[in-house]
Amino acid sequence: MSDHATSPAASSAGTADFRDHLIRYGGDAYPEIVETASGCYVQDASGRRILDFTSGQMCATVGHNHPNIVAAIRKSCDTALHLFSGMIPRSVVELAGALAKILPPPLRKSLFLNTGSESNEAAIKMAKLATGSFEVVGLGGSWHGVTGNAGGASFASDRKGYGPGIPGTFAIPEPNAYRCPIKHCRDTCDRTCMKVGFELYDMQSTGARAAVIAEPVISAGGVIVPPEGYFDALAAEAKKRNMLLIFDEAQTAFGRLGHWFAASYLGVTPDIMTVSKTLGGGIPLAAVITNDEIEAKCHARGFAFYTSHVSDPLPATVGLAVLDTIEREHLLERSREMGGYLAARLEELKSRHEEIGDVRGMGLLRGVELVKDRETREPNHQLGALTTERCLQLGLSMNIRRRPERGSVWRIAPPLTVKREDVDLAMTIFDQALTEMKALLAKRSSSAAAR
């Protein structure tokens, strides 16, 4: 690739035309209209196939347009697509029952909604109603959604320019051992970040403590895997303050980590769990889940979350198909197997590229952090942006999370149905793109020095 190589956006014919009537909503936008998607690949209007290593928006975990998902949608077309919100379709009852069988007890009551934002909004409202309080503590780097309560407890990005957030929302530092937010640890987190965070929270609290909300793996914040024992300690801190513990398992449930739920793997059961993305197979479907006691208390106090698409039959039918597909195709085991293979390939790349400072994650959720220097760990944002763009030109879609003060991290999450040859192709493209962009930056630096 030359120093003056054309970007995908610049080379795309008609790019401006298809965006003429669209509001831009953030993030890196693909420069071509996408026509079809199947399995691990999408195809754009030019006919180019792109290997999708983000599973859509982390949602198509059983692959794009899986035949079982398509069949479930067709089944709904013959039964019911939408009903009055007070009517409960059979698919909703069956999905709630199926979840109850695999959830860690005593979690067994579900409310089905559309998005992760909605499920976290409902969870926080339930926690506030059940406790009679309003303060919510989240982790740095977290992403729980864009609506009021959910957005208020999200600290990865997108907080600036909108005015005051929800009152009573607090952040504690995330347990990032590679890039310790309190400049205390290096590579081994001893949970001092949690201790300091709760001490600061206690100084500011009015005593109206409601909930602690956390992702089992902090995904948007850089694929941060908290250390062993972290969530036991977090649950203890919440209990000490009479706060409910909410797990946001939008990206960790239903096989992404190689288990039905991160909570089951961790051996820590939250008071409330939210799921979304990985339950819908590409269709908008989310749920907030709790135990009998909290559900009864919220109902007695008038809990209401009555939306146009609560308990919809079509997405619930798809959710049942997702659970059935995971079980029939042994995708939990496959996630562990292919996740291990992916991790090994990434470690091999790390051994050859000094700019890869860290490789981390679980199952088929992996993070690759780029640095300028492994000792100083200064983030390499420019290399990350150029390499992501070059990967796309070469046929690989990967999501990079850029936080100026925290790092430049690729979030890699292929579908659970990914094959070894797909991983091998992705790593070949990644290797080529990284090599080329390192050379390009070195050339630019040399030219600048000569001037």
Active site residues: 143, 215, 248, 251, 277, 411
Local structure of residue 371 (DSSP, 8 states): B
User: Strand pairing of 365-370 and 356-362?
Assistant: antiparallel
What kind and span of H or E run contains 196?
Answer: helix 192-204
Q: What is the DSSP string of 115-158?
A: SHHHHHHHHHHHHHHHHT--EEEEETT----SSHHHHHT--SS-
Q: How many helices (H) and strands (E) does the chain have?
A: 15, 15
- Cβ–Cβ < 8 Å for 254, 275: yes
Output b/e per residue, 274-307; b: 16+ Cβ within 10 A.
bbbbbbbbbbbbbbbbbbeebbebbeeeebebee
C-alpha closest to that of 407 among 382, 387, 433, 380? 380
Peptide bond into 270 cis (omega under 30): no
Local structure of residue 178 (DSSP, 8 states): S
- How far is 272 from 97, CA to CA, in rounded Å? 17
Helices 292-300 & 116-131 angle (0-180, nearest 10): 80
- How far is 309 from 82, CA to CA, in rounded Å? 8
Q: What is the DSSP string of 202-270?
A: HHH--S-EEEEEE-SSBTTTT-B-PPTTHHHHHHHHHHHTTPEEEEE-TTTTTTTTSSS-HHHHHT---
Q: Tell me the sheet residues that pair with 361.
A: 366
As a whole number of angstroms, the longest Cα–Cα distance in the chain is 74
Cα angle: 257, vertex 262, 268; to 5 degrees: 155
Side chain identity at residue 20, one-letter code:
D
- Cα-Cα-Cα-Cα dihedral sign, residues 186, 191, 196, 197: positive
Place of tokens 């980590």: 257
> What Cα–Cα distance (Å) separates residue 234 from each residue in 122, 143, 405, 427?
21, 18, 25, 36
Q: What is the CA radius of gyration of the chain?
A: 22
CB atoms within 10 A of CB 37: 17
